[in-house]
Structure 1
Amino acid sequence: MMKIKVNIVTPDGPVSETEADMVIAVTETGELGILPGHIAMVAPLDIGALRLKNGNSTEHVAVNGGFLEVRPDVVTVLAQSAELASHIDLARAELAQRKAEVELQQKKNKVEQQMAELSLRRAINRIKVSGM
C-alpha cells in the first residue's frame, strides 16, 4: 500500500516526521481524510485530534489550530501547537482545564471570555488525545 509523508511543525520546531496510510484532520469545516495521491489543497485546522493511520494502528496528535497543506505525496501540518498523545502531561492538561473553567466563571470582558474558552477547548483536546 502507498504511504503519504506527514510533517507536523509548530513555531517551536518540528513535532513529527513520519509516514501514514491515511491522515484524518479536524478542519474548521469538519473532518478531512487524506490518502496518498490526494489533490493539492490548503485547509484551516480547528482544535482537535490529528489521526495518522498505519495498518491497524493509529497515532494521535493534539493539534490546536493552524493550517494543513496537502500535496499528492506529503501532508504538512503547520500548527500553533501540537503534541503527540504519548508526550502529553495529563496532570498539566487537567490543571489547565480547571484554570480555564475558573476563568470562565469570573465576570470578564468578551475578549477575556473568548480566550478562556479557547484555553478550555485546548485543555480538553489534550486530555481526550492523551486517552486515545
Structure 2
Amino acid sequence: MANKILLEVVTPDKLLLSKEVEVVVATSIDGEFAVLYGHVPFLASLAVGEMRFKDGGNTEYAAIAGGFAEVTGTKVTVLAEAAELAREIDVNRAERAAERARERIEKAKTEGRDYVKAQAALHRAMLRIRMADKAKL
C-alpha cells in the first residue's frame, strides 16, 4: 500500500467501497478537503456533497448524503447516511426524485408543509444527477 490510502465507504445498509486510492476529496460541513497517504488524523462531519477519489489516473465520483469521515495516515473511513457511486446512479430515478421534491416545495409554499425537508430532498437528487453526469465523462 505504498503511497496509497485505503478508502472505505460504509452506509447503514452495506460496505459500498473498499479500495486503495491515491487521493480522496470530500465535502465537509466546513468545505472541501483532500487526503493523501500520511495525512494527519482528523474527523469531519460530511455535508451532502461530492466525493471523488483517484487511482492510477482514473477519477471516480460518489454522491454522499451526510455522515462522518475518519482520516488516519493510511485510511479514510466514510460513514455515510447514504452514498452511491456515480457509475451506479439511476439517472431516471434521480430525476423523478427531483421532480417530486420540486412538487413538495411548491406545496410547502401554499400548504405550509415542510419546506426544509423538500429542499434537502431536491439537493440530494440534484447531487445524484451531477455525479452520474461526471461518471459519463
| Distance in 1 separating the partners of 2:126 and 2:7 | 24
One-letter code aligned to 1:114: V
Residues 102 and 55 from structure 1, CA distance in 2 versus in 1: closer, same or farther, beyond 3 angstroms?
Answer: same
Residues 15 and 108 from structure 1, CA distance in 2 versus in 1: closer, same or farther, beyond 3 angstroms?
Answer: farther
Unmatched 5+ residue regions in structure 2? none
Instruction: Give identity over the alignment, percent.
Output: 38
TM-score (norm 2): 0.92
Moved over 3 A (4+): none
TM-score (norm 1): 0.95
Unmatched 5+ residue regions in structure 1? none
| Distance in 1 separating the partners of 2:35 and 2:86 | 20
Alignment of 1:90-101 (within 5 A): 90-101=91-102
Residues 108 and 64 from structure 1, CA distance in 2 versus in 1: closer, same or farther, beyond 3 angstroms?
Answer: farther
C-alpha RMSD over aligned residues: 1.1
| Distance in 2 separating the partners of 1:26 and 1:87 | 20
How many corresponding residue pairs? 131
1:54-106 Cα offsets, whole Å, 9 max, x none, are 13210101100000110110000000000011110000000000000010011
| Distance in 1 separating the partners of 2:48 and 2:62 | 11
1:11-63 Cα offsets, whole Å, 9 max, x none, are 01110100110000011111001001111110000111110011321010110
